[in-house]
Amino acid sequence: LYVHHYYPALLFAIWCTGSLLDLIITPLSPRQKAFVCLIAGMLVAANFYYFSPMAYGIEGPATNFAGRHWMSSWNLVSANE
C-alpha cells in the first residue's frame, strides 16, 4: 500500500468533518456549542484509545484484537492463527 496516496483524502475528510460540525452547531447557544464540542472530542479520544494498538503495532497475539473492527471485511487475524 502506498500510504501517501491516502493522506490527501484524510485531510479532506478532516476538513469536511470540521466544517460539518461547525454548520451543525452554528445556531446553538455558546454553552450548547461547548457541550457538543466536548462530546465530539471525547468520542475522538475514545476512538483513538480503542484503535491505537493497531495503529502503533499490535503486541501479542492478533486474536486479542479480532473484535476491533468496524467492517466485516477487515482481516486482523491471519489464516494461520
Q: How far apart are CA 61 and CA 37, in angstroms?
A: 36
Mean pLDDT, to the nearest integer, of 62-71? Answer: 68
Q: Are 34 and 23 in contact (CB under 8 A)?
A: no
> Range with the lowest mean pLDDT among 1-15, 34-48, 52-66?
52-66
Rounded to two decimals, what is the model's pTM? 0.65
Instruction: Pinpoint the alpha helices (H) of the chain.
Output: 7-25, 30-55
3 DSSP 8-state letter = G
